[in-house]
Amino acid sequence: MTDTTTPAATATIATTHGSRYLQQLAKHWSHKLDVVFDATHATIRFPTGAVASLEARDAALIAHLDAPDAAMLERMKGVLAEHLDRFAFREAPLPFVWVAG
């Protein structure tokens, strides 16, 4: 039997500015990528097949990544964290703690 599980990871990032960072990142990437967003949710599709989903809550930003393989998942964790840290420069580095799944 073949394992068809898509590699995925989720991070809960403590911040009260999640909506701001989500919207800044979504607008930034919307010029080059397939992005759908509002004040509390964003879905970003990358040409590599990876998908980032963001959800802003009162005291946290939830980031979820799906990727076609484990190597791409690791790469995308860094890409997402690096870009969010740019918008959160007053708080950076944001506390990313990734959990599989």
What is the C-alpha to C-alpha distance for residues 40 and 23, in angstroms, rounded to an integer? 8
**pLDDT grade, residue 4 (50/70/90)?**
low
Model confidence pTM above 0.95? no
pLDDT for position 5: 81
- pLDDT for the residue numbered 101: 85
Give the pLDDT confidence of 56-98 residue by residue, as tens digits: 999 999 999 999 999 999 999 999 999 999 999 899 999 999 9
Identify the structural domains of the chain with CATH numbers, from first to last.
Answer: 8-89 (3.30.310.50)
| Strand 98-100, strand 51-56: pairing | unpaired
Q: For 1-101, where are the alpha helices, taking DSSP H only?
A: 18-29, 70-87
